[in-house]
Every structure is written in C-alpha cells, then in structure tokens.
Amino acid sequence: MNRLLLLLFCWLATQNLQAQIQWGHQVGTTGRNSIAHHVIDKDGNIIAVGHFEGTITMGSHTLTSLGSSDMFMYKANPAGQILWAKALSGPQSDGASGVAADKLGNLYIGGEFIHELVIDGEVVLEGEGIFNTFIGKFDTNGQILWSKGVLTRERYASAELKSVITASPEGEVVLPVQFWGAVQLDNQHYTSQNPRGNDLLLIKLSSAGQVMFVSRSYHEGSVYPREVKLDAAGNVYMTGAYTGRYKIASLSIATGPESHDDIFVAKFDKQERPLWLKGFNNSIGLLSSAGNSLEIDPKTKNIYLAGSFKGRVDFDGIVLEESGMVEFSGVPADIFLASLTENGAVLWARSFGEEGHDLGRNLKLLPSGGLVLAGAWDFKPFVQYFDLA
C-alpha cells in the first residue's frame, strides 16, 4: 500500500519570510497513487491531477480505476475541502501530466493514455499505438467541454506529453508532445524522422480547442521538455534537457562531446516561430543536467530558470561547478538558478547544494518580485525563498 499525503497552500509571510502550512490532507488509500501537478484558480481553489491504481479516496469521494492505472482530477476550496473528483479512465495504463486554468476558472487537463480514453462513461479518444496524448477543457464543476488528442496511427507509434501544459488568461493552451512513428492531430498527419529518438510538436490551441499553430522540431538525439510558459504578449518559452543536436527551423544547438543530457531554453513568438534557442552544456564526463522550471517577470521581461546539474555547466561564461560528486553519474546533484534577458542573454547564474542529490523542481515568481523554489535537498523536500533585491 502506498499512500500519498498532499500538503498544499503554504504561504510566505512577508514580514519574516517563513513558510507556514495552513492545512493538509491525504489522498489515496490502496495501491500506488501520485499527484503530478496542481494549479490555483482565480478564486484560490486548488485543482490537482495525477494517477492511481485500484481505488483512491479524496475526502468523501472515491474513484475506482478501469485499467491498471487511471488518471484523476479533483478540486479543493481554499480551506482544503474537496469539492469534486473525477476519473479519466481507460482499459490500460493512463496518467495525467499537467493542469492549467484560465481567468474564468475553466480547466485544461493534459495526459497520456493507451488505446482509448473514457470520460464520464464515454470513449472520447482512441489511438492505435503505445501512448497517445490528450488535452481536455473542463468547466469549474469538472464537466468536459471539449477534448483533443495527438493520436497514434500505427502499432508501435507513441505520442507523449513530456511537460506540464500552460494556458493564457484567455484560455489559449500550449503543450509539447514528443512523438515517434505516425501520429495525427485533427486532419494533420506527422511521421517522425529521427531513427534514434523522438521528434517534437509544440502545439497551441484556442480556448475553443481549435489548432492555432504547430511548431515542429527535429533532433539527432532526443529532447525532453520539462516546462512551457506564456508571457503577456503570447510568446512561448520552453525549457528541459536534450541530447545530441536539437534543431528548430534554422536554429541549432548540440550537447558537448562528453555530455549526456544538457540544459536548453527556447523562445517562440505568438505564432510559435522560434526567436532563439540556447544550450548550456556540461564539460565533465557523461553527466546529466536539465532545466526543470521557468518564470517570466512581467515588468522586466527577464526569465528565471531553475533546474539541476552535475559536473560543470557553462552559462555563457558563468561556470557553475558541482559541490560534491555522488555515486550515480546520471543523477543531478546540485541546483542552479539563473536569469536571462528576454533575448536570451545570461544575466547571472548561481548554484546551491552539498554532497548528495539536490533537485530544483518548481519555480514561482511572487507579486512582490521574490522567487520561491521547491525541490529536494538529498531527496528531502524543501521550499526556499529568494529575495531578488
């Protein structure tokens, strides 16, 4: 039995900058249960998504899976009371990867499924291959408004949502989908051209679910998006890890000769045309680094980037070096925090960590201008405030 205890709604007191837990609740009873992401809507409600096995209990709501594991979503009010819960099911393994909300409180849920996706007792999407990606819009009560998928069209094809999704206040949605083989989005068909890895689709949808733009990139290796964000002008930012050569239109970056995974950041305009692509490479051995989270300052338009690295990483001349080597070479060891201009120039970069596995996972920019970073010090969860002044 694996139980998941979810603690939400920590706040930073502006006087002493100490986090105080206001409430917590447990999600899950039997089987393996996991919350992937959560978002806070305009009214302060918390919406969380994840996957579960067997049955899962959230407050007075109990869900039962149809397959080996299913997706779930639930909504809790600011006091922690769970208002509703819903399963997104299928005959095999399914999982929710991301959730976003617009200014009206509508929800956008993204995830993966095998063969078919069942919502409210009806099959809404079907694919022929291994994994299929879906994105759905739900109202404030969890009722589905529309659904759309990147669907496989051959047996061994896959289309995976490799990152959280993001939505503008008006409900424009952006999601990155990593695919292999033959896939379909509406009436458009795509076939991967990378024999050693996956290709990537960066998709923008309107609030009505219409495809606005699709930006496709090709690789000699693989790309692993970790987060996407929209700014007020509609520009799209994406970060993650990559191996080999990453190509978007005429832009190209390549990992170092001895790197395993390196950090990338990319910016696209509101038509998803690439503006710039940056890679920050490791220069020591077959070691892994990744950008895990980013935020955009609406006042300065600067970018704040957080993630993890091993060995030595070069941020355009600012070199960060790991504080202590660990036993497993592929596991990130230290945390980095960096700032870039809107044009991709590095302003500063800092590292944090000691001997052990230190992970920077999620970054949030506060209205006051400070940053809050969540992650783990040697696998122990933490929340840290940074005063940018």
- Residues 315-342 pLDDT 10s: 999 999 887 655 455 555 799 999 999 9
What is the DSSP track for 62-91? EEE-SSSBEEEEEEE-TTS-EEEEEEEE-S
pLDDT for 9 equals 39
Same-domain pairing of 285 and 369: yes
Same-domain pairing of 289 and 372: yes
Domain limits for position 264: 231-389
pLDDT for 384 equals 87
- The label of the residue with tokens 């999704």 reads 165
Q: What is the DSSP letter of 356?
A: S
- Please say if the pLDDT value at position 88 is more than 60: yes
Same-domain pairing of 221 and 248: no
Same-domain pairing of 216 and 235: no
Same-domain pairing of 273 and 212: no
Nearest Cα neighbor of 111 from 138, 140, 79 is 138
Token pair in block for residue 200: 């990537």
Same-domain pairing of 62 and 185: yes
Cβ-contact 83, 76 below 8 angstroms:
yes
Same-domain pairing of 250 and 304: yes
Q: 14 lies in a domain? A: no
Other C-beta atoms lying within 10 Å of the C-beta of residue 147: 17
Cβ-contact 294, 266 below 8 angstroms:
no
Same-domain pairing of 208 and 336: no
- The label of the residue with tokens 């239109």 reads 249
Nearest Cα neighbor of 109 from 80, 64, 139, 69 is 139
What is the count of structural domains for the chain?
2
- Residues 164-220 pLDDT 10s: 799 999 999 999 999 999 999 999 999 988 776 688 999 999 999 999 999 888 778
Cβ-contact 246, 223 below 8 angstroms:
yes
Is 0.75 surpassed by the pTM of this model?
yes
Same-domain pairing of 222 and 238: no
